[in-house]
Amino acid sequence: MKFQTPLFVLTTLATVLSLGATAYAQTPQQNPNAGTGYFGAAVLLNSEYVGSADEEVRPIPYLSFENVKGFDLFGPVLSYRAIEAGTGQGLGKWSLRAGPRLSYQGGRDSDDSPNLAGFEDIDGSIMAGGYLRSTIGPVGIVLDLSKDIAGGHGGVVGSASIGTAYVTPKMGIQPALSVNWGDDNYHDSFFSVSAAQAASSPLSSYDASAGIYSYSASLVSWIIVKDDYALSLIGSYSWYINDAEESPILNADDGAKTGLFGAVSLSRRFDTKKW
């Protein structure tokens, strides 16, 4: 989920680079981070692939910026503010932001598990689509829909999130809940098992249909630790449901019907007002 703060929020489920988007938005005149960027490093903990019971830890570089000629970059998501309106956030106020977005989703390798023997690798996906964020009083919602244009899973995915936030100039905390949807191509890539794949692996054949595949609960927090340095902590837990929950991949001995994501980052602020 995403929010105009020094955060590294990644998109989970298709990759665990998909945490959604924080369900709280700010208008430029009220956002103390407008016209700023952050660079630093992050350490991620996430499921090895969608439906895996194994987790991996890896360090990555971090870069974000906000409202540079209308563009925002947070983690692997680049968005543009085509529409921005409203009186702000808080009681009696509202805001609306919408526009196009590009994001990255990771894939899956057949050697990630012995149960995936004979499966084709799923390359990373470039997701192109749009988003809408709105706040009404202390409650925010985010809607997004995007399609893979890079030939990874080739599908369409979407999410709807609701949440709130407590933010001061020195710290912030944001809880949110999300529901996640995928089309047939997405479900076939990550949850289905074809007859050919079943013949070369221990898994039975299975055809997962399009629909809602998971719910997610997330918590994002950050604090300014010294001058222009920010420490961010992010956590998300997902439950797979419907056809995804019944997938032989998730029900294998090294599979899981839940997904885990966590991140901690340390970053330094820099000025983007002259960009």
Q: How do residues 79-111 score in pLDDT, each as one tens digit?
A: 999 999 998 767 788 999 999 999 998 889 999
Taking only the tens of pLDDT, the chain with its 275 residues reads 333 333 323 333 323 333 333 333 333 334 444 567 889 999 999 888 899 999 889 898 888 888 888 999 987 899 999 999 998 767 788 999 999 999 998 889 999 999 999 999 999 899 999 999 999 998 999 999 999 999 899 999 999 999 998 888 888 999 999 999 999 999 999 999 999 999 999 999 999 999 999 999 999 998 988 888 999 999 999 999 999 999 999 999 999 999 989 999 999 988 887 77
Residue 215 domain-assigned (yes or no): yes
Q: Are 76 and 103 in contact (CB under 8 A)?
A: yes
pLDDT tens readout for residues 197-235: 999 999 999 999 999 999 999 999 989 888 889 999 999
The H helix count followed by the E strand count for the chain is: 4, 14
What CATH number is given to the structural domain containing 185?
Answer: 2.40.160
> What's the domain range around 195?
28-271
The whole model's pTM is what?
0.82
Place of tokens 């590294």: 8
Please give the tally of structural domains in the chain.
1
Sequence-ordered alpha helix ranges (H) in the chain: 184-190, 195-200, 242-245, 248-251
Residue 131 domain-assigned (yes or no): yes
Residue 20 domain-assigned (yes or no): no
